[in-house]
Structure formats: structure tokens, C-alpha cells
Amino acid sequence: MALPAKKQFQFWGIFVLVSALLLWALGHVLLPFVLGGAIAYFLDPVADRLENSGLSRAAATALITLVGLLVFAVLVLAVVPTLIQQFIALVETLPEVVQQVRAFVAAKFPSMQQPDSVMHQTLQQLGAVLKERGGAFLQTALSSAMSVLNVVTLLVIAPVVAFYLLLDWDRMVAEVDGLLPRDHAPIIRRLASDIDKTLASFVRGMGTVCLILGTYYAVALMVVGLQFGLVVGSIAGLVTFIPYLGALIGGALAIGLALFQFWGDWLQVGLVGIIFAIGQVVEGNILTPKLVGKSVGLHPVWLLLALSVFGALFGFVGMLVAVPVAAAIGVLARFATGQYMSSKLYYGHSASQSESAQDAE
């Protein structure tokens, strides 16, 4: 005999509450496991394709791990030091950029430079904040990042967790499927499949798009000679998962820096703008349709809300689980809406009258 709906609701409500409390209390402990699980989920399709080509699961996992270690070594030795150096130089240069903006405004719009004008006060305050707190902000950001993403987590625990999860992924999915309540297993499987499709489109698809665009922006900006091209390209690629925001932030930052560096050389400034225009065309017409699909099911506003709420409640771990949880809630909300639209609660008296008319016929 199945449990009453009220009992089932209480059970699953307690399960969700306990999970949230554990995530809040043990977030720093769960971080390597959540990060490793995200890596394994991202790479599972690659392992499946290698299996289909004739490799065993163990051989496919070993090959993926070897390639990952090589890529990581290249990043650590070649990219990360340059990225950190450019970021530090950018923070140190920002006060000078503000001074250049003030000089430009003073030359073109002298009325705004009156001591009592809002623009004058804003630029003066901004320059003072950047000059006084820029270095402190950078040092705090780096130290906090190292406290959250410590070296042991990044270099040892998370990759090991990802390796074992990737190796046993299919078996774990089968075991979880065997634990599903028999009465609700078909519906849970269908919902899980919808959530997986949404996550696959967004996490894997948008992750690949961000990586491709970030690499393109960084390389192209460095080729045209922009001083902080690697940092700007990385920032633009990182926020590409929010439509138009990556190009807007990266383009504004790149063009602003290009004006500061190449003032008077409008060809160089134009090349920077063309780089981002080409990136947007390629993303909108090739990358996103091919890798993500036309309908992902995660609205940018909903995604930003999930990242903000989970980040505030659970820290960095919350930001990692925000996208899967947002996808799950979106799928469940669409399912609940469909159930409501087909229920008597939605149709009301009209449904009862229709049924009575059918019975009369």
C-alpha cells in the first residue's frame, strides 16, 4: 500500500531541508566533491563516445585524465602566470585611466568639471577609491580565492573525485535508478531526463561556447596588441553564458582600454571593435545553435537570481550547484504547470459541465 500524498510530501520536504542544511554547514568540505562531480558530468559524454569507439570505460577515463593533466600543465605554466600579471597591471592602471577620462571630459565638456557638478564629484571619488583600494582589493580577492579554492582542493582532491565518478558514472546512475520509488519511477525518470537535457545544453554547451569565445577574444586581442588582451578575453568568455552580457562587458572594457592605449590610432581601436563584432556573429549563428540549441529552458534573469541567492546562502559551493538546482526547479515548475492546466482546479465549473454534457450524450 502506497504512502498517502501528505506523508510523501512531508518525507521529501524533510529530505530537501536536511540537504540544504548540510550544504550550508559543510559547504567548504563538500566543495571538492561538488566540483569533481561537475567535472565528471561535463566529461561523461566524451567517455561515452570513446566507449562507443571501442575503448573500455577504464581506458576512456584514463585517456581523458591524461589529456586533462596535459591541458592543466599548459595552463599553469603558460597562461595563469600571464593572466595574473595582466590582472595586477590592469588594477594598477585603472586610476590612470580615470585621470585620462577626467582630462577628456574637461576638454570636451568643461561645464561638467565644475567643482559642484555631479560628474566631477563622481570621477574624483572613483579615482580616489581605485587609487586607495585597488591594490587592497586585489590582495583580498586573491587571498579569499586561495582560502576558498585552496591548492589541495584544486590540484588533488577534486581531480581524484572527478576520476572515480567518471569511471563509475553509468553504474551509479543505474544504482540510483534502482532506488527510485516504484510508483513514481516513470515520472521521476522523465523529469530527470528533462533536467539532464537542460543541463547538457546549458552546462556542457555554454561551457564549450565560453571556452571557445574566451580563447578567441584573448588571442585576437593579444594579436592586435591590446595590453590586457588575455584578461579582457578571459572576462568576456567567462560571462558569455549570460546572453549579450559577455560581449557588452568585454567589448566596453576592451574598447575603453584600446582608446586609452591607442588614442589617435583609430585603426587599432576599430580592430578591437571588429573582434567583438565577429565574436557575436559567430556565437549567435554558429556556436550557440550548434552547441546549445535554440531552447535551453533557463532564462538569464532566473539564472542570475539562482546564482545570487545560492551564492549568498552557501558561498562558492552554492554557485556551483545553482545552475543544476535552477534547471531542476524550472523543469519541475513546467511539470507542475502542466498538471495544473489539465486539472479541475484550472477548468473549474466548465470542466464539470463538460463532463455532465458528455455523460448525457
What is the reported pLDDT for 61? 92
Lowest mean pLDDT among 76-90, 102-116, 209-223, 308-322: 102-116
Helix (H, G, I), strand (E, B) or coil at 1: coil
The pLDDT of residue 127 is above 80: no
Provide the pLDDT for residue 145. 47
Whole-angstrom distance, CA of residue 336 vs CA of residue 13: 16
Q: Are 344 and 351 in contact (CB under 8 A)?
A: yes
d(CA 210, CA 240): 6
C-alpha span between 91 and 77 (Å, rounded):
23
pLDDT (0 to 100) of residue 144: 47
The CA distance from 308 to 326, in Å, is: 12
| % of the chain at pLDDT higher than 70 | 71
pTM reported for the whole predicted model: 0.63
Answer for the pair 213, 242: CB distance below 8 angstroms, yes or no: no
Q: Calculate mean pLDDT across residues 328-333.
A: 83
H/E stretch holding 303: helix 300-341
Provide the percentage of residues in the chain whose pLDDT is more than 90: 6
Position 64 scores a pLDDT of: 93
SS3 labels along 225-245: CCCCHHHHHHHHHHCCCCCCH
Residue pointed to by grid coordinates 549563428 = 285
Q: Give 128's pLDDT tier (boundaries 50, 70, 90).
A: low
Q: What contacts 267, CB < 8 A, 6 or more positions away?
A: none
Cell of 263: 588614442
Greatest mean pLDDT range, 121-125, 206-210, 292-296, 348-352: 206-210
Work out the mean pLDDT of the chain and round it to a whole number.
Answer: 76
- Taking the C-alpha atoms of residue 132 and residue 101, their distance in angstroms, rounded to an integer, is 18
Long-range Cβ pairs for the range 62-67 (8 Å, 24+)? 64/166, 65/159, 65/163
Q: How far apart are CA 207 and CA 47, in angstroms?
A: 17
Task: Grade residue 66 by pLDDT with cuts at 50, 70 and 90.
Answer: very high
Q: What is the DSSP letter of 262?
A: S
Is the model's pLDDT at 141 over the cut of 60?
A: no
Residue 253 has pLDDT above 70, yes or no: yes
